[in-house]
Structure 1
Amino acid sequence: MITVVSTMQLKSNSENEWDHLIRERFKSAHDKEGWISGQLLAPSHEPSTRVIIGTWRSRQDWEAWHKDPAFLASRTRLDELQSVDHQTALYDVIEDAQGTN
């Protein structure tokens, strides 16, 4: 299992549109082979920064999703709404402990 962490800076006043597009992208990932979970985060002290955390069964599953037409359809517009190219880091998951509240 891998977790992918992507961080990006958004252009001023683009947050709502960008968040909407990412929510749609998350919906398209739900049925993809290997999808486990995803989170969209905004640091409280940096309102134009976004962090996406996605967990996949394998790197191959994550890479295959990046070739999916639904993923590619929103890529150009998302890139236009960002002020800096995003940074992405992949991590192998050693332990996945989740609560049951």
Structure 2
Amino acid sequence: MMTVITEVTIEPGQETQWDRAFQERIDDVRNQPGWIEVQLLIPVDAPNQRVVVGTWRSRVDWEAWHETEVFKKTKEIMDAVEQQKGEDRWFEVVTRQSAEGASSKQDL
């Protein structure tokens, strides 16, 4: 299991447009093989920044999602209002625990 973290800065005043496109993307990702979960974070001191934390079974699954029509369409919208996009940072998930009881531990 892999987690990818992406940080973006949105042009001030364009946050709603970016958020709508992101929501469309997330509505579609539920149907993608290998998708596990996503979080969209907004720093409390930077309302035009977003941090996306996505967890996938594999990086190959994530890359396949990037080839879908919905992803490509929303990428155009989101890219148009982004001021700065950070690089994707990948992490191997070693332990996962949630209040819902979902947990897993990967062998090191």
Whether these two folds match at TM > 0.5 is yes
* Aligned-pair Cα RMSD in Å: 1.2
Question: What amino acid is the match of 1:20?
Answer: R
1:43 aligns with 2:43: yes
Scaled by the length of structure 2, what TM-score is found? 0.89
Q: Deviations over 1:27-77 (max 9, x none)?
A: 111010001111111000111110111111111100100111110011111
Is the partner of 1:21 in helix, strand or coil?
helix
Structure 1: stretches of 5+ with no match in the other structure: none
Structure 2: stretches of 5+ with no match in the other structure: 102-108
Question: What amino acid is the match of 2:74?
Answer: S
- 1:64 is aligned to 64
- 1:54 is aligned to 54
Question: What amino acid is the match of 1:29?
Answer: V
Q: How does 1:1-101 map to 2 (within 5 A)?
A: 1-100=1-100
Instruction: Indicate the structure (1 or 2) with the bigger Cα radius of gyration.
Output: 2
Is the partner of 1:67 in helix, strand or coil?
coil
Paired-residue identity, %: 33
Structure with the bigger RCO (C-alpha within 8 Å, sep 6+) is 1
Scaled by the length of structure 1, what TM-score is found? 0.94
